[in-house]
Every structure is written in structure tokens, then in C-alpha cells.
Amino acid sequence: MQIVDSHCHFWRLDRGDYDWLAGEGGPLEPIRRDFLPADYPGEAELVVVQAAASLAETDYLLSLAPAEPRIRGVVGWVNLTDPKAADALKTRATNPLFKGIRPMLQDIEASDWILTAPRADALEAVEAAGLRFDALVTVRHLPFLARFAADHPSLPVVIDHAAKPQPGDLSEWEAGMRALARDPRIHCKLSGLMTELSAEELRNPEPRLRFFFRRIFDWFGPERLLWGTDWPVLTLAASHQQWLDWTESLLSDLTESERQAILGGNARRFYGLLPQGRTASTKTT
């Protein structure tokens, strides 16, 4: 079975637009270095997701694909408030590997930004190009994401990292995720959970991972869950192989068809990935 990692990152720090990785020391020090396709462990097909709020990084990720056949899609960034956003989207959508956009909502102070700030013509361009919307959200965004999805009924939406549930009271997270899951168009990524666990939970992560998995599986079902690693951010909490092993344990009670859907089929369908062996030759500027 060919796995699809629906959420990984590559970056080269000397490009200069990874503001969240700036500085020295601290918890991010282990990933404050270049991570390139040659560093990625395993043979999964890859959906590469933006990690900088710049068009230049989106173009950089697209430029990696011709030399790296594992890259099957790119989720990029466009400034949805810019008067030129629609043109920027149209230009990049000429590349069949450009699959979606991800505004970095978790880093924006206004929780309702997605309802009030993006230009209408930019969102129309996203939908007209057949792009997907990756929602980088936390619990504070969930009610606003539900309204945004309802306002854009033809826009496919996927919730990154199951909205990053935090240790402590989960009632607001559970209510928000259940509400979003009622929309059959909204998907959820089984990714990014390791780095949200507390230090105590990381000593034996499987019980907490199973707690989260049972809930998102019940809400979204096997047909709307996409597996991903969030590599290399994952490595702050676990190795790539450890996450694979824990995933295998989490999915062990499912049918083979359900496992195949979560580990690859759903991502191929959601993102419209090109069949393996085909590459995109169109370049962006």
C-alpha cells in the first residue's frame, strides 16, 4: 500500500521568510536548520504545505517538485487581503501541483479574521481554480471556520492537525469539531497531535493519541480522515518511525479498506493528486 503523507514541510532558512523559526535556542532549536526533500524519511507520496507567509515560499515549494517525484501536491500561501491576490492565485493555479492555500490563521490575533479580512474576489478565485482550503486553526477559530465553510459551500476544507487539541478541558474543542464534522465536505488531518501533548503525556503517548483518534474517527469517519506527519515539526516530539508505529496501532482495529483510505486514498481524492509516475511540467513565475 502506497502511503500519502498529506502534511509535511520543507524549508531552507537562508531564504529568510520563516519568522517563526527566527532566533536562537528554545524549544524550536532542533528544527532551526534546513529540511529538504532528500532529508525526508520514507517513500510516501507527499503533500507539501507552506510554512511561511509569503508567495516566494510557495513558489520555492513548487520549484522543488520537478526534481522530487514524491511531491504530488503543494498547499501554498497567498495574501487574501491583497488586491492582487486573485491574479496571484490564477497564476499559480496553472501549475497542476498547486492544490490549495493555507492562511496561517493560528498566528493571527483576530479569531474571526477569516470572516472579515479576505477579499471576496480572492476567495472567488480560490473556488474558481478548484483549490482546497487548509485550515490551520485552534479551538478559538472553530465557530468562525464553521461559518466560513457554510458561506462557501463549494470550497473543500480540511482541518489541519485536528485543530490542535490542548491538555485540559476539551469540551469546547469537542463541540466545535462535532459541529464542523456535520458538514460532509469538511475533512480532518490525523497529524500534528504529538507536538500538542504535554511532557507527561509524551512519556506514554498512546492512550492520549487513542483518545483523540476515537473522537475524530467517530465524527469524520474513515472517508474524511487524512493521515500526515507534520514532519519535520513532528521531530520535536517523536521520530517519523515512531509516528508510523503509533499510527499502525491506532488503525489496527479498522478494515483494510478503511486503513487504505486514511493512509492514502482520502488524500488522493481530496487534493486531486496526480497519479504516481506523472509529473507537472508547468512552472510558475
Instruction: For cell 491574479, name the residue.
Output: 87
- Structurally, the chain folds into a number of domains equal to 1
Taking the C-alpha atoms of residue 18 and residue 54, their distance in angstroms, rounded to an integer, is 9
Question: Cα 221 to the chain's mean position, in Å?
Answer: 18
Containing 226, the helix (H) or strand (E) segment is strand 225-227
> Is 42 part of any domain?
yes
285 pLDDT tier (thresholds 50, 70, 90): very low
> Is 76 part of any domain?
yes
In percent, how much of the chain has pLDDT > 70?
96
Whether 62 has a pLDDT exceeding 80, the answer reads yes
| Residue-range definition of the domain harbouring residue 104 | 4-271
> Is 283 part of any domain?
no
**Overall pTM > 0.85:** yes
> Is 279 part of any domain?
no
The predicted-structure confidence for 64-94, as pLDDT tens digits, reads as follows 999 999 999 999 999 999 999 999 999 999 9
Report pLDDT for 283. Answer: 38
Taking the C-alpha atoms of residue 270 and residue 6, their distance in angstroms, rounded to an integer, is 10
Whether 243 has a pLDDT exceeding 50, the answer reads yes
Instruction: For cell 493560528, name the residue.
Output: 106
277 pLDDT tier (thresholds 50, 70, 90): low
According to DSSP, residue 7 is labeled E
> Is 282 part of any domain?
no
> Is 278 part of any domain?
no
The C-alpha cell at 139 is: 479551538
Question: Cα 233 to the chain's mean position, in Å?
Answer: 12
> Is 49 part of any domain?
yes
CATH number at 70 reads 3.20.20.140
